[in-house]
Amino acid sequence: MQTDPYNVNIRDDSGPWTPRPTLGGDDYRSLEVFDREREKIWWGDWITVGRAEEVANPGDFVTKDVAGESIFITRNEDGELRAFYNVCSHRGTKFLDDDSKGNVRKAFKCPYHAWTYDLNGDLIGSPNVTEDEYFDRSQYPLHKIAVDSYAGFLFVNMTKDEPRPLLEALTDGAESITAFERFKMEEMSVGVRLVYNVKANWKIIVENFNECLHCPQIHPELVQVIPLFRFGEVWDEEIRDDGNIMIEGATSFTKTGQSELPKFPNLLPEDYQMYYGSYEFPNLMLNIHPDAVMYYIGFPKGPNETLVISEFLFRPETIADPELFKPEPVVEFWDLISLQDWDVVERAQTGVGSRAFTRGVYPRQDRFLYWFNEEWRQKMGRPLEG
């Protein structure tokens, strides 16, 4: 971490390293631990839920499931983001269907008793309440949630306390999406979307993303494109923003290192031969290329299951032009890598479920995973390993 005392120097690959313990088996499989995570992590700070383009216009809405809590996000008539629990204030009826999206124009109406709320969540219609009841509608708005955006990503904060600023959360880590403003991701659009249902704890998926000891064995195609990954490392400290140089002549993240997609404009000269990876706690895993951006957003469905949304960003003018928009080589390469990962993390989930597994161990090349575990312990209110 940049500011926290538990920041073991995870970027230092010199000097002695004392092996450090992983999380315990119950931390990956226990319903009790998962329930505590819901309160402390998923409902306690900023998390990524999607892209701002999903609610581009006033009245647009999209529903999301955040660790078992259904919420929806919209824009008011001034174009400002608003987010609410998917619950009517009358008698708690679920307002909108799961995985739904659309446009309600100016108001949301409960499907049960037709209580109606404007785009700011204020109650504007209660047809079963008569005038002589002295009923104050202003006391019964929808249940609001803090919502914000950065680089085109949507973030919500469901804490019961006053939420900290989003930018503080985004920069409070070993890596930060804010390092990549030059890519102008807020101007990009989703061109391809893949959905995976992975039978593994969300933390195992994050840990797998943040290390490459597995790469030579699990991803033979990947290590042909990024030579550093052959050695199990994810960082080269000599390169800006933790970039990884692709093979000589490669300018795209494909099996061949080439694609017909136009390159992003106005980047640094070295960006056109780089792959960048970045992780934002707890659930945004970002992969940046010279011609496309791919990311995973993980949504836990329980201690043993995670819904992973994988989306690909491109310049809107690229998507609009059939002659330019040829994403298949990038998408197919990432889909291959993803499926390889999902197979091995499901094996890992099976293993940590064994009564024989108590705790594992982190060698030096797993030091970023150790940082992630320490951040998790801090969020959960546990003692740090130090």
The confidence score (pLDDT) of residue 13 equals 62
Residue of 16, 8, 13, 27 whose CA lies nearest to 360? 27
Domain of residue 34, CATH code: 3.90.380.10
Considering the domain architecture, whether residues 34 and 52 belong to the same structural domain is answered as no
Structural domain for 58, as ranges: 48-163
In a domain, 303, yes or no: yes
Is residue 168 in a domain? no
Output the six-digit token pair for 307: 């819904």
In a domain, 112, yes or no: yes
Tell me how far apart the alpha carbons of residues 74 and 100 are, in angstroms, rounded to a whole number. Answer: 12
Regions of the chain with pLDDT less than 70: 1-15, 235-238
Residue 235 · residue 242 · CB < 8 Å? yes
Q: Is the domain of 206 the same as that of 349?
A: yes
Same domain, 304 and 203: yes
Give the distance from CA 316 to its chain's centroid.
Answer: 22
Instruction: Specify whether 55 is located in the same domain as 33.
Output: no
Residues 62 and 210 in one domain: no
Quick check: is 327 in a domain?
Answer: yes
What HEC string does 278-292 produce? EEECCCEEEEECCCC
Let me know if residue 12 belongs to a domain. no
C-alpha–C-alpha distance, residues 370 and 20, integer Å: 7
Indicate whether 235 and 204 sit together in one domain.
yes
Q: Kindly write down the DSSP assignment for every residue of 132-193, as one continuous string.
A: GG---GGG----EEEEEEETTEEEEE--SSPPPPHHHHHTSSSS-GGGGGGG-GGG-EEEEE
Do 90 and 188 fall within a single domain?
A: no
Tell the residue number behind the tokens 């209110």, with chain if given.
381
The pLDDT of residue 12: 60
Which residues is 118 bridged to in the sheet? Answer: 107
> For residue 236, what pLDDT is reported?
65
- Structural domain total, the chain: 2
| Report field, pTM of the whole predicted structure over 0.85 | yes
> What's the pLDDT tens digit per position in 302-312?
999 999 999 99
Asked whether residue 93 is domain-assigned, the answer is: yes
Among 163, 190, 222, the domain-final residue is: 163
Domain final residue, candidates 163, 198, 218: 163
Bridge partners of 316? none
Last residue of a domain, one of 112, 138, 163: 163
Confidence (pLDDT) at 173? 83
- Indicate whether 123 and 264 sit together in one domain: no
Q: Does 33 share its domain with 56?
A: no
Strands 46-51 and 153-157: antiparallel
Provide DSSP, 246-312: PSTT--SSSSSS--SSPPPSS--GGGGGEEEEEEETTTEEEEE-SS-EEEEEEEEEETTEEEEEEEE
pLDDT score recorded for residue 2: 39
Question: Is residue 292 located within the same domain as residue 147?
Answer: no
* Same domain? 137 vs 191: no
Is there a single domain that holds both residue 273 and residue 327? yes
Assign residue 56 the CATH number of its domain: 2.102.10.10
Please report whether residue 307 resides in a domain: yes
Query: What per-residue confidence (pLDDT) applies to 235?
Result: 67
**Domain annotation covers residue 10:** no
- pLDDT tens-digit readout, 128-147: 888 788 888 899 999 999 99
